[in-house]
Amino acid sequence: MRLFIAIEFDEPTKTNITDVQRKLETFGRGRFTHQENLHLTLAFLGEVPPARVAAVRRAMDRTAVEPMTLVFDRTGRFRRDGGDIWWIGLAKNQKLSDLQQELTKHLLEEDFALEKRPFTPHITLARQVRLTTQPAQRDLLPEPFEAKVDGITLMLSERINGRLTYTPQYRKKRAD
């Protein structure tokens, strides 16, 4: 099972993100993330045997999840030879950083091997992007917008009928 832990967004937030995608599409072409797949990855686990899912759930259950407001405030890209990856980024958020660090700690305690790269919170808008014109920041995101979140989700990543699909496997909401 190919798994990752993410923050899911409500439909209004996904609509705001797809508005940015539509603006990006006017400047070129690429493989745009489907609206239902928009998420913020906290930890990528990769291939995990089904017997290890309980360990992932334990790590999630030990992680404190506090309600928070995320602010989407910029766009950018990771340069790639086959076309760039474009993303929408978040303003610095200490609650988000603490959540990701605590989750990582608990996953490591359960013997999961995680990426060593620093956590850079972003949502992928599109891959293999080739632009005909370079947009200015205000062309894509004229004003920041917010999203309220209060949970984390274990997601299964798989191809179904040739389409990348993310299916929730377990959700951990904030403690009441």
Mean pLDDT of the chain: 94
Q: CATH number, domain at 72? A: 3.90.1140.10
34 is a catalytic site residue: no
Q: Which residue has the tokens 């923050």?
A: 7
With bands split at pLDDT 50, 70 and 90, how would you rate the model's confidence at 101?
A: very high
- Domains in the chain, number: 1
39 is a catalytic site residue: yes
Q: From the candidates 14, 106, 122, 172, give the one annotated as an active-site residue.
A: 122
- Looking at the predicted structure, is the pLDDT value of residue 174 above 90? no
The pLDDT of residue 100 is 97
- Looking at the predicted structure, is the pLDDT value of residue 87 above 70? yes
- Looking at the predicted structure, is the pLDDT value of residue 16 above 70? yes
The pLDDT of residue 175 is 61
Alpha-carbon 49 to chain mean position: 22
With bands split at pLDDT 50, 70 and 90, how would you rate the model's confidence at 103?
A: very high
Look at residues 148, 139, 151, 144 and name the one whose alpha carbon lies nearest to residue 24. 139
Kind plus residue range of the DSSP H or E element containing 58: helix 53-61
The model's pLDDT over 61-75, given as tens digits with 9 standing for 90+, comes to 999 999 999 999 999
| Domain boundaries, position 33 | 2-173
Q: How far apart are CA 90 and CA 71, in angstroms?
A: 5
Phi/psi of residue 78, each to 5°? -105, 120
The pLDDT of residue 116 is 85
Q: From the candidates 39, 72, 107, 141, give the one annotated as an active-site residue.
A: 39
The pLDDT of residue 162 is 87
The model's pLDDT over 18-69, given as tens digits with 9 standing for 90+, comes to 999 999 999 999 999 999 999 999 999 999 999 999 999 999 999 999 999 9
Residue 101 token pair:
């660090």
